[in-house]
């Protein structure tokens, strides 16, 4: 029996967003498109094919397994692993021609030894920690670190980058400080006549707000999928939301005043009410925080979620919808008629970030339909 809850991904929207980003940064700036976390829940393989076909220069993933899966799906453009790798992952990385982020000379030497065995050179990028505080080389050690890397055989230093920690916030002073530190490292390299082909720092928010951080490559993530990172970034680009989250009504019931609905009986019925059950819950990534708070679309109109969101179902009040029936389509995220429930508004409603909404829903809902093809992956 087919699933009646699904994610719909508009690949035309992703194509549109990529072209809009390319138009903003200019033809001289390359695009490292971020497809980690299954392309933010949109389905990495299908999204990566769309990005590759429409001129993305490189893809960014978090871990080797994500890159290997893309290679198995016939993605041919360069792929960069943005996190450090462990010794036991090096063999797979080399076999699948993945670029590596290197922050350790020990790992760099291990990569070199394995690369020699394969008679190949490995593309590496060096992360400069200008304030993220996790991985990366400190700015005052960057020059000596990169000089040491240049002496290691079978390594090709393709890129150097940093990672902004608050570019989507209203106060961007720390981001500007990070950018300044990064430029300081670049100046040191220039003074030593060390040329590294790819320089990247700008994530989605910095692409929109801080053109001084674009350098010759940018790393769009959330904006590729048609979502602005926060309310504190410029809306200076037209984006189209690519993800919709849909289901169908599986039950309709009339409840009398005084009845309660769902676990804990948190919602009391005050008047004759038509309650629809939909087969969506927190197992599908639909947060329990939407309990007694969220809305859905049915027949192009908004209706409230009543009671608690359960593991595999929740309830909506459709009293004022006379033509509702079992099987009617329900939109939890996306458009229907003239109404829209955006991922940004849903995140704001429950006090989280859009990243969490798409990753939770996208990775926990197994059925994905793709437009324009409409095929399941």
Structure-block tokens of residue 342: 């955006």
Give me the residue spans of the domains in the chain: 11-225, 243-371
pTM here? Answer: 0.94
Q: How far apart are CA 186 and CA 255, in angstroms?
A: 67
Give pLDDT tens digits for 155-202: 999 999 999 999 999 999 999 999 999 999 999 999 999 999 999 999
Name the strand (E) or helix (H) holding 19: helix 11-25
What is the average pLDDT value for the chain, to the nearest integer? 95
Write down the CATH superfamily of domain 243-371: Lyase, Ornithine Decarboxylase; Chain A, domain 1 (2.40.37.10)
pLDDT of 376 strictly over 60:
no
Q: Which CATH number fits domain 11-225: 3.20.20.10, 3.40.50.2300, 3.40.309.10, 3.30.70.330?
A: 3.20.20.10
Is the pLDDT reported for residue 214 higher than 80? yes
How does pLDDT run across 250-297, given as a tens digit for each residue?
Answer: 999 999 999 999 999 999 999 999 999 999 999 999 999 999 999 999
Q: For the segment 228-257, what is each residue's pLDDT rounded down to a tens digit?
A: 999 999 999 999 999 999 999 999 999 999
pLDDT in tens, 342-371: 999 999 999 999 999 999 999 999 899 999
Closest CA to 107 of 133, 86, 128: 86
Average pLDDT over residues 312-328: 94
pLDDT band at 373 (very low <50, low <70, confident <90, very high): low
Answer for the pair 372, 11: CB distance below 8 angstroms, yes or no. yes
Q: Of 22, 36, 172, 368, which one is the catalytic site residue? A: 36
Taking alpha carbons only, the member of 86, 120, 82, 114 closest to residue 101 is 82
Task: Write down the catalytic residue from 263, 283, 375, 376.
Answer: 263
pLDDT at 375: 46
Q: Where are the beta strands (DSSP E) in 91-193?
A: 99-101, 122-128, 155-162
Integer Cα distance of 352 and 173 in angstroms: 23
Question: Is 40 considered catalytic here?
Answer: no
Tell me the pLDDT band of 117, cut-offs 50, 70 and 90: very high
pLDDT at 377: 45
pLDDT of residue 3: 81
Element (H, E) at 208: helix 204-209
- Give the C-alpha separation, 228 to 342, whole Å: 11
């Amino acid at each position: 029996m087919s699933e009646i809850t699904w994610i719909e991904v508009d690949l035309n929207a992703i194509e549109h967003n990529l072209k809009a980003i390319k138009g903003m940064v200019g033809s001289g700036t390359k695009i490292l498109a971020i497809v980690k976390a299954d392309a933010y829940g949109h389905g990495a393989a299908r999204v990566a094919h769309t990005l590759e076909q429409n001129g993305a220069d490189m893809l960014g993933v978090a871990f080797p397994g994500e890159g290997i899966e893309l290679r198995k799906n016939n993605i041919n453009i360069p792929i960069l692993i943005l996190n450090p790798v462990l010794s036991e992952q090096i063999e797979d990385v080399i076999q699948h021609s993945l670029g590596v982020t290197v922050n350790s000379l020990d790992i760099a030497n291990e990569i070199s030894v394995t690369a020699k065995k394969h008679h190949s050179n490995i593309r590496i990028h060096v992360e400069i920690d200008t304030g993220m505080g996790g991985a990366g080389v400190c700015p005052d050690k960057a020059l000596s670190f990169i000089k040491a890397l240049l002496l290691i055989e079978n390594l090709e230093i393709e890129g150097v980058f940093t990672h902004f920690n608050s570019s989507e916030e209203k106060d961007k002073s720390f981001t500007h400080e990070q950018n300044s530190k990064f430029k300081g490292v670049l100046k040191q390299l220039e003074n030593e006549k060390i040329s590294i082909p790819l320089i990247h720092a700008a994530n989605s928010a910095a692409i929109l707000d801080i053109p001084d951080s674009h350098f010759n490559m940018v790393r769009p993530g959330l904006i590729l999928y048609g979502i602005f990172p926060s309310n504190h970034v410029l809306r200076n680009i037209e984006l189209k939301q690519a993800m919709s989250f849909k289901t169908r009504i599986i039950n309709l019931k009339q409840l009398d005043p005084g009845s309660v609905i769902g676990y804990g009986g948190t919602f009391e019925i005050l008047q004759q009410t038509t309650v629809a059950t939909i087969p969506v819950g927190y197992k599908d990534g639909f947060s329990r925080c939407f309990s007694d708070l969220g809305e859905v679309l049915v027949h192009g109109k908004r209706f409230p979620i009543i009671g608690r969101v359960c593991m595999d179902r929740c309830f909506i009040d459709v009293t004022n919808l006379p033509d509702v029936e079992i099987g009617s389509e329900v939109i939890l995220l996306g458009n229907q008629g003239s109404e829209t429930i955006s991922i940004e508004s849903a995140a704001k409603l429950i006090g989280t970030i859009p990243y969490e909404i798409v990753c939770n829903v996208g990775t926990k809902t197994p059925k994905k339909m793709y437009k324009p093809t409409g095929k399941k992956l």
